[in-house]
Structure 1
Amino acid sequence: MTYCVGMRLNAGLVFLSDSRTNAGVDQVGTFRKMSVFEIPGERMMVMMTAGNLSISQSIRQLISESHGEDGRSIWNVANMHEAARMVGDAVRQVHAREAKALAEFGIDFNVSIIFGGQIGDERCRLFQIYAAGNFIEAHDENTYFQIGEAKYGKPIIDRVVAPTTSLDDAAKCALISMDSTLRSNVSVGLPLDLLVYESGKLAVTHFVTIDERNQYFQMIRNTWGHQLKRVFEGLEYPVWDAAPESTAHVLHSATTASRPVRVTPPAGVALPAAQRAPIQTLTQQFHDGQQ
């Protein structure tokens, strides 16, 4: 498994990927998931992959070397949409060549790609490309894409990132998102590749490979966990069985009739006399709610 996130902002692009491919009991695999296609001053493109590593590597090789019948390639197409189509075409070529043989061994054709960058005077663009070779593009309503083990790192991005977010804030948010994933899933691991691209530069602006010794990432890991705990401890305790007007933190109002759904004990189970209250069934609860 892996985790990659790409963000498209007014100021540019942010890409972050881990490097773990498997995490068995006695075997941990590490391969870098981010590839840069760059002609300085003319175009800068980034691809990140998740899924079957052999498929991903075959796609990357095709993209870097192949040309269409008309001579077009990722190195000379006029815009990012055409470049994304070239990536999608490469996915389909690898599928046509490999999918049947993989299926005979019970292996799915599994690959996901985040692809983005800038060509010439065109604005920065970001795409997510699927195993069928089709793709979608990021817009202001959806400024980022995730692939791989995405669920742990999604909440912070949803709360923070918008088109107007600065590149530094987006990079910080991406690293927090990755830290949340690293803490919750062993199939995602260091080192990380972080690339920050400033719109209009047409060359990589900032890039770093982050391992466990990186000072900034260690600060993120320690400070974020500490601040989360402080915020948690600063939240008020829930108030039970109180009038709503008596406090702002009523969880259960004294005037609210809330009862759990109780399961009827099987025949022969003796209950103490004090606990022989009528049992509320699902049907009874439904009818009570309709009254």
Structure 2
Amino acid sequence: MTILEAERQSTLKLSFFALARGTDRNNAIPENMLYINKKDFVHTLRTVRSHYSDKKLEKLWQIVAQEGTRVYMDTYLRQITVAMGVRVRTKKKFPRSLLDTSSWALTDGRSQVVEFWKVSWVCLQGLGGPIIMLFTAFHVFCYAGMFAWFGKVTASIEIEVGSEHLYYLNSFNSYLEGMVTLFNLLVVNDWHKIAELYVNPIVGSRACYVYFVVFQLFVSDLLVKIIVGFFVTGFLNEFGGSKKASERESFNESFNESFKEEGVEATELDNLLIMQRTGGWESTKKLIGGGGN
């Protein structure tokens, strides 16, 4: 089953349970509809048949079939699904401890910060290849700059060409100075000012612009963006997966503990329904009539 098919089955199942539990009392289908294939609906119908009587399922099927297998699904219906689902299965009010906060499925802020840095460290460890590529590019451009302008840019150049803001310190008179110059070209917006220092007749010619433009295009625009892209993509994948797993574990633990006193066994269906909850306790309490039978 593909991801799209799985999402469609999940949406269809939530819609089916919302209708089956009597949320659509007037048999009305709102205008905002989701069109579902009849074959998919029959498959879901058979899957959940054990939860309801044949009479009620048949009535539901007649309602939906008359509407051309159109099933309504939006945020409001998800909330109703949760409220009615809990009321039918437990016959009691849903534990308020799980509903009076919107962050019920999240861990505390401190653990989130720790998780953030753990994931960041894992992502940084995966940037070895791109960083080596960046250092190699710096190494090549540094030796090229030393070959072309070694000893040509000194403190005296400030008087001769009128260099401002100590740009003459960006030289290629040694390997270390060359690497510092390239780093300034990478992070400083005034890279063109540094380039102008090398295209004057005393130091070089206008052909020097080629060196600086190529460095900007290849290193600043391409390699740096590749490194950032690797980090962001890896971070989103690692942190997203870790966060979902921790949320799922935290929710299942809280859910099972809350219903243990009621003598009700939590199921995957219950978890699925509650995870779709988007409203708070007050709105949910109104939907279930104050939590009574």
TM bucket (normalised to shorter chain) is under 0.3
What TM-score do the two structures reach when normalised by structure 2? 0.21
Bigger-Rg structure (1/2): 2
More strand by share: 1
Which structure has more RCO (C-alpha within 8 Å, separation ≥ 6)?
2
What TM-score do the two structures reach when normalised by structure 1? 0.21
